[in-house]
């Protein structure tokens, strides 16, 4: 999430791919293929896992993420639903209560607003109010954020919305490794997970190692990934791929900021009350020992952290 600016995605992607140290046996895999393979392997490993959503079966998914799964597992485990997000999301949450592990696909998370009552009140809050004693192992997945040639009603990023809700885990994968490892972890997790995919990245290829291709592989939820991916361009900056919005890896973020006392956040969401604002708040709470913190957020040309920057300056002048 922190590593992509839409207009510079191609250049940034090239830097990321060239800087990683993969084994000679690494192969290329698209994000779409990574998601598909994760679904396939988890369905094969656990009979309780099933898919449901609009066009996930006969059409093989709006973005072909579920390609071939209907033919392999049949209509009882790959369920085409009517165009009624509130209905099939409620069924998915109910199935999770019963002990199954549904993966609910939305054509876009903008349409999930029709089902947000079940996501938050039925799934997240039941898990939260019971202190996790009532398990709700459901995954809500689909494309999130801006796409090509669509209006605002199809382009919103919901990371900050769902990231504010106790009882939910919220993931936002970047690469094929992220997509494969995090989706496997989400399906295996006992809590409800919102899995926010990037629509423009489905067809992008990334190298994956033999370790990532192992059926037992998964990526820990709540762990960010730091990398010196800009060094070849002569830029001395550590880039952190959050991967997990909730829980947020505050320790990795703060450890990075303490190296330079500087922070830039990049996200797709709106500038006010965003993920960047939460990151800035975590710096204020956890790293007040820093003498001078220069913080700036970015949404295109817009600043995410202007109010918090003023607060930082006010506090540090009084330390």
Which residue among 41, 42, 54, 85 is the active-site one? Answer: 85
Assess whether 85 carries a catalytic annotation: yes
Residue with tokens 């600016």: 5
- DSSP-assigned letters across all residues of the chain: -TT--GGGHHHHHHHHHHH----TT-EEEEHHHHHHHHHHHHHHH-TTEEEEETTSSTT--TTSTTTTHHHHH-TTTEEE--S-HHHHHHHHHHHHHHT-EEEEE-S-TTGGGGGHHIIIIIIIHHHHHTTT-S----EEEEEES--SS--GGG----HHHHHT-TT-EEE---SHHHHHHHHHHHHH-SS-EEEEEEGGGTT-EEEE-HHHHSTT----TT--EEE-TTGGGT----EEE--EEETT-HHHHHHHHHHHSEEEEE-SS-STT-HHHHHHHHHHHH-TT-S--EEEEEBTTB-S-HHHHHHHHHHHTT-
Cα-based torsion angle of the residue sequence 52, 53, 54, 57 in order, rounded to the nearest 10 degrees:
-30
Assess whether 76 carries a catalytic annotation: no
Residue with tokens 């919005």: 245
- How far is residue 118's CA from residue 155's CA, in Å, rounded to a whole number? 22
Which residue among 154, 204, 238, 313 is the active-site one? Answer: 154
Residue with tokens 């609910």: 104
Which residues are part of the catalytic machinery? 85, 154
């Amino acid at each position: 999430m922190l590593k992509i600016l839409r207009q510079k995605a191609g250049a940034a992607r090239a830097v990321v791919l060239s800087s990683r140290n993969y084994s000679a046996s690494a192969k290329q895999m698209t994000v779409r293929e990574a998601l598909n393979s994760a679904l396939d392997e988890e369905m094969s490993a656990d009979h309780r896992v099933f898919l449901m959503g609009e066009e996930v079966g006969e059409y093989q998914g709006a973005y072909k993420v579920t390609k071939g799964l209907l033919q392999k597992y049949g209509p009882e485990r790959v369920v085409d639903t009517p165009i009624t997000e509130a209905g099939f999301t409620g069924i998915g949450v109910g199935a999770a209560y019963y002990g199954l592990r549904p993966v609910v696909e939305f054509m876009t998370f903008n349409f999930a607003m029709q089902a947000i009552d079940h996501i938050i009140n039925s799934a997240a809050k039941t898990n939260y109010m019971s202190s996790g004693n009532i398990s709700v192992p459901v995954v809500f997945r689909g494309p999130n954020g801006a796409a090509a040639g669509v209006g605002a009603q199809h382009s919103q990023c919901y990371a900050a919305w769902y990231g504010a809700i106790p009882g939910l885990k919220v993931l936002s994968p970047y690469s094929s490794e992220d997509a494969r490892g995090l989706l496997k972890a989400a399906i295996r997790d006992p809590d409800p997970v919102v899995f926010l995919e990037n629509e423009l990245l489905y067809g992008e290829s990334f190298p994956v190692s033999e370790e990532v291709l192992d059926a037992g592989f998964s990526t820990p939820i709540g762990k960010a990934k730091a990398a010196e991916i800009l060094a070849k361009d002569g830029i001395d900056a550590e880039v952190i791929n959050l991967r997990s919005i909730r829980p947020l890896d505050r320790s990795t973020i703060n450890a990075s900021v303490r190296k330079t006392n500087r922070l830039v956040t990049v996200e797709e969401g709106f500038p006010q009350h965003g993920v960047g604002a939460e990151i800035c708040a975590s710096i204020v709470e956890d790293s007040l020992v820093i003498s001078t913190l220069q913080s700036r957020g970015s949404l295109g040309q817009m600043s995410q952290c202007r109010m918090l920057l003023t607060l930082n300056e006010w506090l540090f002048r009084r330390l």
